[in-house]
Every structure is written in C-alpha cells, then in structure tokens.
Amino acid sequence: MASIKNIFTPRTEEDGAFFYSIKKIISYRPKNIQLFEEAFTHRSKNEINPDGNQKNYERMEFLGDAIIGSVIAAHLYKKVPSGNEGYLTKMRSKVVSREHLNELGKDLNLIKLVRTFIPTTQFGENLHGNIFEALVGAIYLDKGYAAAEKFIHKRVVKPYVDIQKLEGKIISYKSLFIEWCQKNKKQFKFNVYEDTGNDTLKHFAVKLKLEEETVSKARATSKKKAEEIAAKRAYYKLKNKNR
C-alpha cells in the first residue's frame, strides 16, 4: 500500500529535489524516503515522527557509527591477517576518527540537505560527520546491512583505506606530545583561558608550556580542539628543531 500511495501522492519540488539528491549519493532508489528525511533533520526543527518520538538524526547517527565501525573492522581483519587486536583497533580508530568522518561528510556536501532552524554556518565541524553517520544508519534501515556495507566500501574503504598510509597517520597530536614528554621526562602544561575576541562563537585560547618555555599557542571553539592544535604546532616545531 505504501508504494501505491507514493505513486499517487504528488511531491513538492523541494521533496523531489531531496529524493533525487539522496538517490545520487547512495546510488539506489530509496524505498522509504522518510528515513532519510529524519537522518537530515536537526533537533532545532522540534519535529515528531509518526511513532510520537523526536524526529532528528541523532539516533540514526548512533546506529550508523556502529555499522561503520563493524564494516571497517571486518575489512581490516581480512586485509591484515597478521595484525593483532591492538594494531587493528588503532587502525580502525584512524579510519573512523571524527576528523575523517567530518571530511567524508564535506566531500558529499551533506550539510546542504540538513533541515534546521539554525543557520548551518553556526554549527561546528562535527555536524558533517554526524550526518554522514546518520546517512549510513538510514541506508541500513532502508535496505539492510549489505547495502550499508556496499556504501561504506564505495565511499570510505576504496578511496581512503590505504594500510601503509594509515600506519603513518597520526590520530592525536596531543597524545603523541604527552607520550614524548613522558618518555623524555619533560614537564608540560596546557594553560587554557577563554578568548574574549569579537567572534560570534566563543573561542578558547591555549598556551602550551614545555618546562618553563611556551612552545606553541592556539585558539579554537573548544578547549579540546585548541589543545590539539597547540600540540600539533609544538610537535612540528620540536621535530624541525631536532633535525
């Protein structure tokens, strides 16, 4: 009955554009476009689905995150038969890092399809990755695990999962910097303070001290991001200094 109803229910121009945009991204005709509408709806819309629950991408994001992790884990397990649990876990973390998922969302320009009452320019970087995960969740609910796996292999594994490159990829410069300090018995400290600049979004500034010397500075919209940027700058500064 649902398919007959869809045939005789006229679509608005906007609905049609969304349908064909999704079809182009996922490479098949969606069976239930409402799933994808929910995957691209922000909580600011304050909408309720037919079951009486909140209609936004957050639950599908949770589902998609788990599916992406399982597909990548299975791929690495087959691709690197000599890899132990620690190695495989680290490699999977590199593929499904927040930074990488954000880039995947940007590559597909998913943000242009997000339904929200808040201007997308006010969102942080993570929205790109969150929507990518929600999209995977919607594909799984719409057509099953095999379809989600095929999409992940096409959009993630084939273009980005290069074992040799991943082995040299750094996930967290902060962790790397702390590890170096511990190994070399160096004292360090991240001095974080609120930035009172003129930006619309609140920023945090960081000074990274090694022993008594300030080795780098950074600012970002969160303490975590500012510390990571400062650690990255310090890492390359020390690397160049020790060449």
Domain ranges of the chain: 10-167, 173-241
Q: Answer yes or no: same fold for 10-167 and 173-241.
A: no
pLDDT at 53: 85
Predicted local confidence at residue 168, as pLDDT: 67
Backbone angles phi, psi at 123, to 5 degrees: -85, 155
Q: How much is the pLDDT for 169? A: 67
At 240 the pLDDT is: 74
CA nearest to 115, candidates 187, 170, 24, 47: 47
Cβ(139)–Cβ(67) below 8 Å: no
CB atoms within 10 A of CB 186: 12
Task: Give me the tens of pLDDT residue by residue for the chain, a chain 243 residues long.
Answer: 444 444 444 444 456 899 999 999 999 999 999 999 999 999 898 888 888 888 999 999 999 999 999 999 999 999 889 889 988 998 898 889 888 899 999 999 999 999 999 888 888 889 999 999 999 999 999 999 999 999 999 999 988 887 777 776 676 788 878 888 888 888 999 988 776 666 666 788 898 999 889 999 988 888 888 888 888 888 888 877 766
Q: Are the C-beta atoms of residues 182 and 210 closer than 8 Å to each other?
A: no
For the question of residue 65 being annotated catalytic, the response is yes
User: Cα–Cα distances in Å, from 193 out to 35, 62, 97, 187?
Assistant: 42, 32, 26, 20
Of 97, 118, 136, the C-alpha closest to 200 is: 118
Q: Which structure tokens are listed for 136?
A: 């995977």
220 beta partners:
204
Architecture category of domain 10-167 in CATH:
Orthogonal Bundle (1.10)
Predicted pLDDT of residue 199 = 63
CA dist., res. 65 & res. 201, Å (int): 28
Distances (CA, A) of 201 to 114, 123, 196, 198, 219: 21, 10, 10, 9, 12
CATH class of 173-241: alpha beta
Q: Which entry of 61, 133, 142, 149 is annotated as an active-site residue? A: 133
Residue 221, by phi and psi: left (phi above 0), alpha (psi -120 to 50) or beta?
alpha
* Cβ-contact 195, 203 below 8 angstroms: yes
Whole-number pLDDT of residue 7 = 44
* β-sheet with 203-210: strand ranges across: 188-195, 203-210, 213-220
Q: Is there a catalytic annotation at residue 51?
A: no
Task: State residue 3's pLDDT score.
Answer: 46
Residue 15 confidence (pLDDT): 65
Set 38, 65, 142, 149: catalytic member: 65
Q: pTM of the predicted model, to two decimals? A: 0.68
